[in-house]
Amino acid sequence: MQGGARRLWTGATLVTLAGDRDWGLVPDGALVVEGETLRWVGPAAALPEAFRQGVVEERDLGGALVTPGLIDCHTHLVYGGERSAEFELRLQGATYEEIARAGGGIRSTVAATRLAGEHALHVLAVQRARALMAEGLTTLEVKSGYGLSLAAEAKCLRVARKLGELGLTVRTTYLGAHALPPEFDGREGGQDDYVDAVCAWLPELKRQGLVDAVDAFCERIAFTPAQTRRVFEAARALGLPVKLHAEQLSDQGGAALAAEFGALSCDHLEYLSDAGVAAMARAGTVAVLLPGAFYFLRETKLPPIAALREAGVPIALATDHNPGSSPGLSLLLMLNMACTFFRMTPEEALRGLTVNAARALGLPDRGRLAAGQRADFCIWDAAHPRELAYWFGRNPLRQTVAGGRPRA
């Protein structure tokens, strides 16, 4: 036996998502876990005798549903303050873009985040992460982008990394190119000077072990494609993968640019063009759709789901948790909204929070129930996996197992 104590889980209705389509349902299934890894997955009747040997613990799930652990592949979880006043302004007719141009929006969160101490930010981020974990989160991506100075970006990324202590896998993404900080505003070439600074800080942040990927906000109210390209070149020089906030409010050709750099994902995508879809398909870039932001900004333009499907672009989902465009903390609600708003099937939606979300993070070791995958899985009190997308405001999670360890 290799890799730690062997545990056997039986009586499971497995939702393996093992193939490219269908749920991969296995009634009366069994899982053999060794240390942090799934060693065997399949119908209990087919479990080889060799895998029964050396089992230190056996648990019968009595028919409960088991899915891969849920993955939130796009969040801005570390920030100070909140923006409910901005929500009221938007309800009175102001747009997200107008608020940003008037110096509110992201910039107001930057001010609050800079003022907050590292411990205070950690306490807030832990509360948010725990809310996501209550619905089965096992892997979490967190972006910086509310510090916008070397010291403040590092502070936020350290807070993000520390969330790993909760028994989660955390991936950190450097989003220095999120907005222009006030100290670069109102001067000639300020935007380009700031992009130079964003690129200059990257090697140091990487040296400190704080960066797994690099993201940018390519938009009229943020950075141009040319500026985004410079950020991507800095990432490439350090061997870091890229992602992009692309075509959220307008079509900037950002997705095609990101695809040129072999991006792991392009995210939002309401204004994605056919050319953008084709470029993403060629590059194997994942489309991360964010129903929470679509809903909360009262967007009416749908991302081009049918075109993405047809082109074979993998579709992931995420909360995009942030105080401006998506202050929500429910992965299950994202499943439901992906079906109601985007007309995704419940199976596509669950793939979006598991296997395709893993791909958006460059983590092929998770997202399915199969031998060799990381032992991250969720046990649900539900008869069929489509129920996970059906209920809203009701959480059928019984237990989560992360890295082979059942959570208390």
The SS3 call for residue 115 is helix
Would you count residue 322 as binding ligand NIG (CB under 6 A)? Answer: yes
Could you give the C-alpha distances from 319 to 36, 125, 162, 293, 337, in angstroms and in order?
Answer: 26, 15, 20, 8, 11
Torsion sign (Cα): 308, 310, 314, 318: positive
Q: Give the C-alpha distances (Å, rounded to integers) separating 385 from 319, 382, 389.
A: 20, 7, 8
What is the distance between the terminal CA atoms of the chain, rounded to a whole angstrom?
27
Question: Could you tell me which of 283, 287, 294, 336 has the C-alpha nearest to residue 308?
Answer: 287
Instruction: Tell me which of Fe ion, ligand NIG, none is bound by residue 323, counting a contact when its beta carbon lies within the kind-specific cut-off of 5 to 8 angstroms.
Output: ligand NIG
Stretch 180-199 residues interacting with ligand NIG (CB under 6 A):
none
Residue 149, burial from CB neighbour count under 10 angstroms (0-12, 13-18, 19+): middle
- Contact call for residues 248 and 272 (beta carbons, < 8 A): no
Place of tokens 């001067």: 187
- Which residue's CB is nearer to ligand NIG, number 184 or number 295? 295
Of 5, 21, 131, 136, residue with least CA distance to 58: 5
- 321 belongs to an annotated ligand binding site: no
Token output for 103? 């110096």
Using DSSP's 3-state secondary structure scheme, residue 145 falls into coil
From 17-25, 133-141, 177-185, 316-324, give the range in contact with Fe ion by CB under 5 A.
316-324
Q: Is 17 in the site for ligand NIG (CB under 6 A)?
A: no
Closest distance between ligand NIG and the C-beta of residue 326, in Å?
6
Shortest spacing between CB 25 and ligand NIG, in angstroms: 34
> Annotation-wise, does 178 bind a ligand?
yes
Cβ neighbour number for residue 274 with a 10 Å cutoff: 10
CB of 76 to Fe ion, least distance (A): 6
Closest approach of ligand NIG to the CB of residue 240, in Å: 20
* Nearest partner of 114 among 173, 209, 180, 181, judged by Cα: 181
Q: Which does 400 bind (CB under 5 to 8 A by kind): ligand NIG, Fe ion, none?
A: none
The answer to whether the CB of 267 falls within 8 A of the CB of 243 is yes
Structure tokens given for 331: 């992965």
Near Fe ion by CB under 5 A: residue from 320, 347, 348, 376: 320
Binding mask 220-249 for ligand NIG (x = CB under 6 A): -------------------------x--x-
Q: Does 172 bind ligand NIG (CB under 6 A)?
A: no
CA dihedral 35, 353, 323, 85 (to 10 degrees): -140
Residue nearest to ligand NIG (CB): 324
In the complex, residue closest to Fe ion by CB: 320
Please report, as residue ranges, which positions from 282 to 301 form the binding site for ligand NIG (by CB under 6 A): 293
Using the minimum distance from each CB to Fe ion, give the nearer residue, 38 or 121.
Answer: 121
Determine whether the annotation assigns residue 83 to a binding site: yes
Q: Which is nearer to Fe ion, 247 or 320 (CB)?
A: 320
The distance of closest approach from Cβ of residue 249 to Fe ion in the complex, given in angstroms and rounded to an integer, is 12
- The count of chain residues that interact with ligand NIG, using the rule CB under 6 A, is 13
Interaction residues for ligand NIG, span 81-110 (CB under 6 A)? 105-106, 109
Binding footprint of ligand NIG on the chain (CB under 6 A) = 76, 105-106, 109, 217, 245, 248, 293, 320, 322-325
Q: Residue positions in the annotated binding site for Zn(2+)?
A: 74, 76, 245, 320
Binding footprint of Fe ion on the chain (CB under 5 A) = 320
Q: Residue positions in the annotated binding site for N-formimidoyl-L-glutamate?
A: 146, 322, 324
Q: Residue positions in the annotated binding site?
A: 74, 76, 83, 146, 178, 245, 248, 320, 322, 324-325
